[in-house]
């Protein structure tokens, strides 16, 4: 039997900031998640995004340290339409998150943008250019 990919885990330096970012993106985390050392949100399709504090990771893996700098992981979220790519990007940037790449019509047929989460990880937003308008 082949293992099934099920969880994307991110080590976060500021759980509250990361929760605010991913909630703003539309993910649902349990109430009170800010007070927990490990939290999860189920993604459409059955994958899970897990956030762990650096302290939690060190407690389970003595000697492990977070990577220096950000941008070690990139996540990509498919949006419903090109207009949603624009709206999500603008909302996140207006909330103070770094916009790496403004929305553009990519030559491969997608509306595409990149914004950074609080730990500097790239979060790609995309939608097919021929997706229905909202």
The pTM assigned to this predicted structure is 0.83
Q: What is the pLDDT of residue 38?
A: 87
CA–CA dist 108, 66 (Å, integer) = 35
Smallest Cα–Cα separation from 75: which of 12, 124, 11? 124
Q: What is the pLDDT of residue 131?
A: 73
Domains and their CATH numbers in the chain: 7-60 (3.10.180.10), 74-128 (3.10.180.10)
Q: What is the pLDDT of residue 18?
A: 96
Model confidence pLDDT, tens digit, residues 49-82: 999 887 777 776 666 666 676 666 889 999 999 9
pLDDT more than 70, % of the chain: 88
Model confidence pLDDT, tens digit, residues 80-96: 999 999 999 999 999 99
CA–CA dist 93, 97 (Å, integer) = 5
Smallest Cα–Cα separation from 10: which of 102, 91, 98, 18? 18
Burial (CB count <10 Å: 0-12, 13-18, 19+), residue 120: middle
């Amino acid at each position: 039997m082949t293992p099934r990919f099920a969880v994307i885990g991110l080590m976060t330096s500021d759980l509250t900031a990361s929760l605010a970012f991913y909630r703003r993106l539309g993910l649902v985390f349990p109430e009170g998640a800010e007070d927990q050392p490990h939290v999860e949100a189920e993604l459409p399709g059955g994958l899970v995004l897990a956030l762990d504090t650096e302290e939690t990771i060190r407690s389970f893996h003595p000697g492990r340290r977070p990577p220096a700098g950000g941008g070690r992981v990139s996540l990509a979220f498919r949006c419903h339409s090109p207009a949603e790519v624009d709206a999500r990007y603008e909302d996140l940037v207006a909330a103070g998150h770094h916009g790496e790449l403004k929305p553009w019509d990519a030559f491969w047929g997608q509306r595409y943008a990149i914004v950074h989460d609080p730990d500097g990880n790239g979060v790609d937003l995309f939608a097919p250019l021929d997706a229905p308008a909202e």
